[in-house]
């Protein structure tokens, strides 16, 4: 047995261990004055200070205490005289587990750009920024499972490989085992997908929603939490080819129930992180403030990170219809001064600049926009009585834009079939989906949350590649 260490987080919280002999293990962040080691094990951003008496180690060993080296320290937990920590470890023995050549180790204790760290994504977990980001990402994921589990939702693993192309056609990754070089062909020269692994052409899923609805029609309330994919050639700070989505789907919910759930959901997971990761949030709050100092005044956030999260916890989201949103935009000074690049009129999809105006300038808080024109939304959204709009809802967040997209689903078979025909969705291939409307259909609703979007929102990071361990983007698939 080797794993008899005390985690640094445990050491630093509570005084219970003061006076006792412990073993700590971790990686050297810094070694000062030949005496003070800042040791980190990833359980927290805080380092434990290990004090090494000058006569404890020979010179050769002391030279091996470099940034990035790993070690096993035995020592007594004593009150610290230094600033910033209550306790430190007075080493009685120090064993180097793994060296880290100071000439070669890229993570020397100085400030590195996020761009540089992205290129060494396999090492960036060892920095304060990414330590905080990925501990928060973990907490958000856990809070999501906890939220739904407590409400009795069933976690449903919807398929990743799918033959369905009801959504997102043209932006999907093909999954195949056919030889690229010389695939089998039919007599007419077309590719013979019958020879492919699944006997047909298959893709990576863009959403688990349709399968999620199948589960909701039996368990009432389900959610998915899995990877989804877009083969979209977008090199932006907001797009990934591979990202994680949460998609709850609920029988017996209408649009209002859906909004209520989404709002309490977002609040729950933020609250969880504020309660469990406060020191990481404080670090990121300071980091963001530092970053923004370099921006011109008008580009800076109105609120600090922690302030923003507290604000979301304590204020209801604004709820407006799409029609009201368009009216607000048309009446805005920005519109009158022709500051919007894209057209504003009823019937067109709002662009990022419009959403940001609503959220950041007009309401200054998250906004739920409902009842969009049917022509800019998906076939499965429930047609409202006006015949023109559907019972959709998007949640827009400051600095991020859309974080949730959802709707009440069209539960009426005839209306759904009509929409599918209008939108050229092949009904015969979707017979399994229509069965839910044929047999015991019920009012139901659901939404999708892009996980990385909420991690961006909660961490204050600005590039989506910095909140997923290993980003997949056009021409980029490292590690």
Spell out the alpha helix ranges (H) of 277-398: 278-293, 305-314, 322-330, 333-336, 352-356
Residue 116 engages its own copies in binding (rule: CB under 8 A): no
Token digits of residue 259: 């909004």
Binding segment for its own copies (CB under 8 A), chosen from 158-166, 306-314, 342-350, 385-393, is 158-166
Q: Is 477 in the site for its own copies (CB under 8 A)?
A: yes
Instruction: Report the sign of the C-alpha dihedral through residues 313, 316, 321, 322, in that order.
Output: negative
CB of 63 to its own copies, least distance (A): 15
Per DSSP, what are the bridge partners of residue 448? 405
> Of 178 and 303, which has the nearer Cβ to its own copies?
178
Comparison of 154 and 274: residue with beta carbon closer to its own copies: 154
376 binds its own copies (CB under 8 A): no
Binding of its own copies at residue 183 (CB under 8 A)? yes
Which tokens is 305 given? 């990170």
Q: Which two tokens stand for residue 178?
A: 């056919």
Output the CA torsion 240→242→243→249 (10° steps): 120
CA-nearest of 233, 244, 173 to 468 is 244
Residue 42 touching its own copies (CB under 8 A): yes
**135-147 in b/e burial notation, b at 16+ Cβ within 10 A?**
bbbebbbebbeeb
What's the closest the beta carbon of residue 425 comes to its own copies, in angstroms?
Answer: 16
Evaluate whether 332 touches 357 at the Cβ level (below 8 Å): yes
Which stretch in 79-87, 104-112, 339-347, 367-375 sits in contact with its own copies by CB under 8 A? 104-112
In which residue are the tokens 């008899």 written? 4
Positions in 117-136 near its own copies (CB under 8 A): 122-123, 125-126, 130-131, 134-135
Site string for its own copies, 203-242 (x = CB under 8 A): -x------x--xx-xxxx-----xx-x-x-x-------xx
What residue has token string 């959204």? 381
CB 368 within 8 A of CB 355: no
| In the complex, minimum distance from the CB of residue 300 to its own copies, in angstroms, rounded to a whole number | 31
Enter the tokens of residue 20: 């006792």
Is 98 a binding residue for its own copies by CB under 8 A? The answer is: yes
Minimum CB distance to its own copies, residue 333 (Å): 37
Return the residues of window 431-470 that contact its own copies according to CB under 8 A: 432-433, 435-443, 468-470
8 Å CB contact between 221 and 152: yes
381 binds its own copies (CB under 8 A): no
44-73 binders of its own copies (CB under 8 A): 68-70, 72
Whole-number minimum distance, CB 222 to its own copies, in Å? 9
**Binding residues among 236-265 for its own copies as defined by CB under 8 A:** 241-242, 244, 250-254, 256-257, 260
């Amino acid at each position: 047995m080797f794993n008899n260490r005390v985690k640094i987080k445990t050491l630093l919280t509570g005084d219970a261990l003061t006076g006792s002999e412990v073993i700590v293990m971790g990686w050297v962040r810094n070694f000062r004055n030949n005496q003070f080691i800042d040791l980190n094990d990833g359980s927290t951003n805080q380092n434990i200070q290990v004090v090494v008496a000058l006569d404890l180690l020979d010179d050769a060993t002391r030279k091996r205490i470099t940034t990035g080296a790993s070690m096993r320290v035995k020592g007594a937990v004593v009150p610290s005289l230094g600033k910033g920590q209550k306790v430190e470890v007075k080493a009685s023995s120090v064993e180097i587990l793994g060296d880290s050549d100071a000439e070669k180790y890229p993570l020397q204790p100085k400030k590195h750009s996020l761009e540089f760290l992205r290129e060494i994504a396999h090492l960036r977990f060892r920095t304060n920024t990414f330590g905080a980001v990925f501990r928060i990402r973990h907490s958000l994921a856990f809070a999501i499972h906890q939220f739904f589990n407590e409400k009795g939702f069933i976690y449903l693993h919807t398929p990743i490989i799918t033959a369905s192309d009801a959504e997102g056609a043209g932006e999907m990754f093909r999954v195949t085992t056919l030889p690229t070089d010389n695939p089998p062909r039919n007599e007419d020269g077309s590719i013979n997908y019958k020879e492919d692994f699944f006997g047909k052409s298959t893709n990576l899923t863009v959403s688990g929603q349709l399968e999620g609805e199948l589960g909701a029609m039996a368990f009432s309330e389900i959610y998915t939490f899995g990877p989804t994919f877009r083969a979209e050639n977008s090199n932006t700070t907001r797009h990934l080819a591979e990202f994680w989505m949460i998609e709850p789907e609920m029988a017996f919910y209408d649009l209002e129930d859906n909004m209520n759930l989404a709002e309490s959901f977002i609040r729950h997971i933020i609250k969880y992180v504020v309660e469990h990761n406060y020191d990481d949030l404080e670090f990121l709050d300071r980091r963001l403030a530092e970053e923004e100092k370099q921006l011109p005044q008008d580009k800076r956030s109105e609120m600090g990170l922690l302030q923003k999260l507290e604000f979301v916890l304590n204020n209801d989201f604004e709820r407006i219809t799409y029609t009201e949103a368009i009216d607000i935009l048309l009446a805005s000074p920005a519109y009158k001064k022709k500051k919007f690049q894209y057209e504003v009129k009823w019937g067109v999809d709002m662009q990022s600049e419009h959403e940001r105006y609503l959220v950041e300038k007009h309401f200054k808080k998250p906004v739920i926009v409902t009842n969009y024109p049917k022509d800019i939304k998906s076939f499965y959204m429930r047609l409202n009585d006006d015949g023109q709009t559907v019972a959709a809802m998007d949640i827009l967040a400051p600095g991020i834009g859309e974080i949730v997209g959802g709707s009440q689903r069209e539960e009426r078979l005839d209306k759904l079939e009509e929409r599918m025909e209008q939108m050229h969705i092949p009904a015969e291939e979707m017979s399994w989906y229509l069965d839910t409307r044929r047999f015991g259909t019920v009012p139901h609703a659901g939404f999708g949350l892009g996980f990385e979007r909420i991690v961006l929102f909660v961490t204050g990071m600005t590039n989506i590649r910095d909140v997923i361990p290993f980003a997949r983007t056009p021409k980029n698939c490292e590690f």
